[in-house]
Structure 1
Amino acid sequence: MRNWKALALHYGTAERPRSDLALEPADPHDATARIDYFVWVVRHAERVFLIDTGFKPDEGEARGRTMLINPVEALRKVGVEPEDVTDVIVTHLHYDHAGNLTAFPKATFHLQDAEMAYGTGRCMCHSRIRRPFAAEAVVDAVRLVFDGRVEFHAGDAILAFGLSLHLVGGHSKGLQVVRFDDGESVTVFASDALHFASYLKDGDVFPLFADYCEVQEGYKTLRRLAGHDGRIIPGHDPSVLRDFRTLGDDLPHAFVVR
């Protein structure tokens, strides 16, 4: 394997109306904006952690998203076979974060109690709230529970020395973020606690959320987790493609985070 500790794997993209990507009123001259889709893989302490599993091709197509490469194939191209993944961190159960759960036969899945309760409870009776969930992905998560492969967390948790989960909520009730301290620097994988880096400056939010106040408080949590010198990586920002180098000319979808 090439020399890396953490990668961003760019697997999808879409052009969306700006009003779909920000709560604050958009400039009417700015008709569309881009949103990108990533999964993240971290090698640490003899384990391979996959942060989220992306959307399935049919689900992405139905929602007007372009799959550039299947997330499972993206992993293979960087030398990680599905059976190599020891841990899958599901930041939340939305369709673009939990779409390929069954592809990792040896992994333990890490999920917040609050997210499972949210994704399977009475809130899903409301069409607007359930819109970002795919029923099959949620059912897959339930099956994994019955297979004894889900490790539930009720708040913050340490998975390995230097790698920890932090419950933020907001965008989804059980949204968790990942902090990685490799002894050299701190990286916070924000997932949908921060869709775009500009939100931290503008105080804007993605216009789909379970709790607006928790989203805003989550920005404070991200800053605290990163500390003075750490880096917060937004979950859907095209800036990731500019800010990090690719793993190689033959791997244009893989970006070295650490």
Structure 2
Amino acid sequence: MTQPEPFELFALKYACHTGRRGADNFVGADIHEAGEDLFYYVWVARRSDRLFVIDTGFGEAAARARGRELVSRPAQALEKLGVRVREVEDVVLTHLHYDHAGTLADFPRACFHLQAGEAAYATGPCMCHSFLRHPFDVEDVVGFVRLNFAGRITFHEEVDELADGLTVHRTGGHTGGLQVVRVWTRRGHVVIASDATHLYANYRDNLVFPAVYHVGELLDGYRTIRRLADSDDHVIPGHDPAVMRLYPAPAPELEGIAVRLDVPPRER
């Protein structure tokens, strides 16, 4: 069987959050211990015939409201990689939290790919609970609804193929319909895990990130991403600063902005 053309795969850092405690990242951690910083990423999978942006990050207003440092608006980081944002046709939204589904208007031609269960979760009875709705920005959700009425949302159920070599898989857990993206690259199948595992330590040590909807699904999701990836080194967590250290920049001028994920990581 002929393999499809591999995708180039990139992570782009657009924001960070410093000064976190261990308990901010792991349920049950000592509240007095310092914790790992969080980096905020969007991802790009591209090859000669297709280009997918994975998640759209957040903008200036959300950064101010939530005390995050915005390094650059995601669209600006993508343009530096050579992605013409206003011409992007496919965007995968792993879920609708503020840091993954903001700045939707920066992609005026895109079709957005989302799990149907995530739309139901973000607009349904669970949003009556402040703990569950806190990671959402209501304006982002309203923007998503407007896009749906405009015919620009494609809904997926559990597992779906968006292109030869690129599939989406629902894991849930962190949200009601979180999905991960499995991408065929020159080094094999890489999984953009997004918030199925915020940090490497979450899935490697079976630790739960405190922002969670269903703990059982979250823990089961760790098994799913291991099964989908060719190895642990083929799993890319959603917020770990180590990603920027482990993988090389695609060009010197992109140092600290973007890294290639379709090559093996450096030694840990």
Q: Normalising by structure 2, report the TM-score.
A: 0.91
Correspondence for 1:18 among 22, 32, 37: 22
1:78 aligns to 2:97 (yes or no): no
Counterpart code for 2:80: K
Superposition deviation, residue 32 in structure 1: 4.1
Superposition deviation, residue 143 in structure 1: 0.6
Task: Output the CA distance in 2 between the equivalents of 1:154 and 1:222.
Answer: 17
**What is the CA deviation profile of residues 107-163 of structure 1, one whole-angstrom value per residue up to 9, with x for unaligned ones?**
111011100001011111111110000001101110110110100011100000010
Task: Output the CA distance in 2 between the equivalents of 1:100 and 1:47.
Answer: 22
Bigger shift: residues 106-115 or 79-88: 79-88
Bigger shift: residues 111-120 or 76-85: 76-85
Compared CA separation, residues 193 and 6, structure 1 to 2 (3 A): same
Kept in 2, the 8 Å contact 1:172–1:209? The answer is yes
Q: Which residue of 2 aligns with 1:255?
A: 259
**What is the CA deviation profile of residues 211-250 of structure 1, one whole-angstrom value per residue up to 9, with x for unaligned ones?**
0000000000001001347600000001101111112221
1:52 aligns to 2:74 (yes or no): no
Superposition deviation, residue 67 in structure 1: 0.5
Compared CA separation, residues 22 and 229, structure 1 to 2 (3 A): closer
Task: Output the CA distance in 1 between the equivalents of 2:161 and 2:40.
Answer: 26
Task: Output the CA distance in 1 between the equivalents of 2:119 and 2:175.
Answer: 10
Counterpart code for 1:185: G
Compared CA separation, residues 95 and 190, structure 1 to 2 (3 A): same
Superposition RMSD in Å: 1.5
Task: Output the CA distance in 1 between the equivalents of 2:134 and 2:15.
Answer: 19
Larger strand fraction of residues: 1
Correspondence for 1:209 among 188, 209, 212: 212
Q: Normalising by structure 1, report the TM-score.
A: 0.94
Kept in 1, the 8 Å contact 2:86–2:108? The answer is yes
Is there any run of 5+ residues in structure 1 with no aligned partner, and where? none
Counterpart code for 2:84: E
Q: 4+ residue runs of structure 1 moved beyond 3 angstroms?
A: 227-230
1:220 aligns to 2:220 (yes or no): no
Kept in 2, the 8 Å contact 1:185–1:230? The answer is no
Kept in 1, the 8 Å contact 2:24–2:35? The answer is no
How many residues are paired up? 254
Q: Which residue of 2 aligns with 1:43?
A: 46
**Matched residue SS, 2:41:** strand
Compared CA separation, residues 86 and 161, structure 1 to 2 (3 A): same
Compared CA separation, residues 152 and 45, structure 1 to 2 (3 A): farther
Task: Output the CA distance in 2 between the equivalents of 1:130 and 1:198.
Answer: 25
Kept in 1, the 8 Å contact 2:23–2:31? The answer is no
Kept in 1, the 8 Å contact 2:118–2:178? The answer is yes
Task: Output the CA distance in 1 between the equivalents of 2:52 and 2:233.
Answer: 20
Where do 1:4-153 residues align within 5 Å?
5-15=8-18, 16-26=20-30, 28=32, 30-44=33-47, 46-153=49-156
Counterpart code for 1:196: L
Counterpart code for 1:24: G
Compared CA separation, residues 76 and 183, structure 1 to 2 (3 A): closer
Kept in 2, the 8 Å contact 1:177–1:188? The answer is yes
Q: Which residue of 2 aligns with 1:190?
A: 193
Task: Output the CA distance in 2 between the equivalents of 1:146 and 1:27.
Answer: 44
Task: Output the CA distance in 2 between the equivalents of 1:107 and 1:184.
Answer: 28
Kept in 1, the 8 Å contact 2:89–2:110? The answer is yes
Correspondence for 1:235 among 210, 233, 238: 238
Task: Output the CA distance in 2 between the equivalents of 1:255 and 1:130.
Answer: 32
